[in-house]
């Protein structure tokens, strides 16, 4: 009896353990010498998650990576396939892959090969949900700098990362209402100082 139960349930357990296995591309940005990786989310399926974390490469590769990010508007990382849930839980702390100038799935140029990124700290881990657009997660990074991440909502939507000046972190709320459903540029509410838009993706979130 036990044998047949194992036969019946093992495929279900196996499928559950690997339902986040795939190629999870990353956008790489730099804020005050910190390299931030943002999982490239999609509206549905296993990629429907906003996962942002700080990463670090080996010393010489770190310098090359920072220079590349600072020199180009978009840098992405194409890793080998892995389970996103293991990275989220802390069971996976390193990812290997190649760095591209531009989007690695849209004609980007492979620039750095065989790079290993160490996951230093998870900054944001939230599912993509059918909510109103215009809310931004506020993530303190340094004493004076925050990362603002648009909370992807119902389509059409967008994925945006913004560097902002922010002080007195204790008084900051977790979410910022931008009072618009469009990407932000140059000005921010709540007296946060807009520094620059680090990343903006619209194509993956147009209305079907």
Higher pLDDT, 121 or 10: 121
pLDDT above 90 as % of the chain: 74
96: tokens are: 């290997």
9-23 pLDDT, tens digit per residue, is 444 333 344 588 888
Contacts of 10 (CB under 8 A, 6+ apart): none
148-160 pLDDT, tens digit per residue, is 999 999 999 999 9
With 80 as the cut, is the pLDDT of residue 55 above it?
yes
Query: What average pLDDT does this structure show over 172-200?
Result: 88
d(CA 164, CA 150): 13
Residue 181 confidence (pLDDT): 93
Residue 102 confidence (pLDDT): 97
With 90 as the cut, is the pLDDT of residue 164 above it?
yes
d(CA 117, CA 49): 20
Higher pLDDT, 18 or 72: 72
- Entry pTM: 0.88
Contact 74, 27 (CB under 8 A): yes
Contact 117, 52 (CB under 8 A): no
With 90 as the cut, is the pLDDT of residue 93 above it?
yes
Residue 40 confidence (pLDDT): 97
């Amino acid at each position: 009896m036990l044998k047949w139960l194992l036969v019946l349930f093992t495929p279900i357990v196996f499928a559950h353990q690997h339902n986040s296995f795939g190629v999870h591309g990353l956008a790489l940005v730099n804020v005050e010498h910190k390299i931030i990786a943002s999982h490239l989310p999609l509206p549905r399926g296993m990629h429907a998650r906003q996962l942002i974390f700080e990463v670090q490469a080996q010393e010489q590769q770190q310098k090359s990576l920072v220079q590349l990010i600072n020199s180009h508007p978009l840098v992405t990382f194409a890793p080998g396939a892995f389970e996103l849930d293991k990275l989220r839980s802390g069971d996976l702390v390193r990812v290997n892959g190649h760095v591209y100038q531009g989007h690695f799935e849209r004609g980007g140029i492979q620039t750095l090969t065989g790079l290993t990124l160490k996951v230093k700290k998870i900054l944001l881990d939230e599912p993509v949900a059918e909510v109103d657009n215009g809310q931004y997660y506020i993530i303190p990074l340094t004493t004076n700098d925050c990362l603002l991440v648009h909370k992807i909502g119902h389509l059409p939507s967008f994925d945006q990362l913004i560097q902002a000046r922010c002080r007195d972190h204790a008084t900051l709320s977790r979410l910022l209402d931008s009072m618009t459903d469009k990407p932000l540029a140059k000005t921010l509410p709540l007296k946060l100082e807009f520094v620059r838009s680090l990343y903006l993706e619209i194509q993956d979130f147009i209305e079907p």
